[in-house]
Amino acid sequence: MTVQLIYQDLTKGKKLDILLIYQFQMEGLQMWRGVFPAVTTKFKTDGELDHAEMERCFGLQMEAGVDGIIVCGSLGEAMTLEPSEKIEILKLARSVAGGKPVLMTICESATRRAGSRARDAAAAGADGFMVLPGVPYKSAPHETLMHLRAVAEAGDRPVMVYNNPVAYGVDVTLDMFEELAGDKRFVAMKESTDDIRRITDVFSRFGDRFDVFTGVDNLAMESLVMGAHGWVAGLVVAFPKETVAIHRLVLAGRLDEAREIYRWFRPLLDLDVSTNLVQNIKLAEAIAIKSNDRVRGPRMPLQGAERARVSGIVEKALASRPTLPLDLPASAAA
């Protein structure tokens, strides 16, 4: 829960915005819940940002009922973006989000630079951050903790720690989260391990101290059934309504209905677990929501047999798209 107060500083004659973050754990109120798409970044044919197409695509997410947006992550091709472009994307997402949280991904190899990016994003209105360790360096636990704390201190906004040891070789372990638990800015974790047991281990150790998000599309329902509060999703950018439906049905205990959609969705979700996840998902967007699959180098759009394979998966899914329940439960984040 966030409360924003604006007051007049009579000594300096300036209006200051103070963002106060409260976590009422005793009352069961949490910071973030639900489906948070890790959105793609759209480019024009000349490689510049396509603001109009991003606005349209972000709007489709909001219309489907997602609960927040995460910009400039790995799916958003963060490593190809200039700092100023990231701020442009953040501001655009905020203009579309209707007051729902917009998180900036902080993924920098240097702690000092990560802190600077967090400060800039906070000044531009980010509601929080999804923070990675200082990849590609495989930091020791004490180094990882230093990096995470420095970013949280610099940005002074709520933080979701992105834990993906499979991709980045650094595991933010439960012992490390124990050390972070005393800092209220660390409110959530995105668990992208391939071990479904981690979800239960987190709750057994921390209860509801952290909001737990699953970050692996083809482990999402399994994680939600085991208690995860939310889903940082990839294929949601092409299939937002189905993603939202699965999350809400699971939380409402309507598992048979959720399972039917999830089984249909599974071949698509597998496209997220790939070296070519960006190209895969952008091609799915091109087919499913009439967007495009333009990427920035060194990536190139899929070609030949691989393009045909991925296109076939998407086309088959569209041809057998399930009818979603008309009585979907309300969002848990409402």
Q: What residues contact 91, with CB distance under 8 A and at least 6 apart?
A: 124, 125
Q: Which of 162, 168, 262, 282 is flagged as catalytic? A: 162
Distance CA 192, CA 220 (A): 10
Of 42, 190, 262, 282, the catalytic one is 190
The C-alpha angle 272, 255, 252, rounded to 5 degrees, equals: 100
Instruction: Check the annotation: does 232 bind a ligand.
Output: yes
Closest listed residue to residue 37, CA positions, set 67, 17, 13: 67
Alpha-carbon distance of 54 to 72, in angstroms, equals 12
190 has catalytic annotation:
yes
Strands in 230-233's sheet, in edge-to-edge order, are 34-37, 230-233, 211-214, 186-191, 159-163, 128-131, 102-106, 69-71
Rounded Cα gap, residues 84 and 92, in angstroms: 12
The candidate with the shortest Cα–Cα distance to 233, out of 75, 32, 63, 41, is 75
**Nearest of 238, 234, 236 to residue 286 by alpha carbon:** 238
Residue 168 is among the residues annotated as catalytic for this protein:
no
- Which residues are known catalytic residues? 162, 190
* Residue list for the binding site for pyruvate: 232
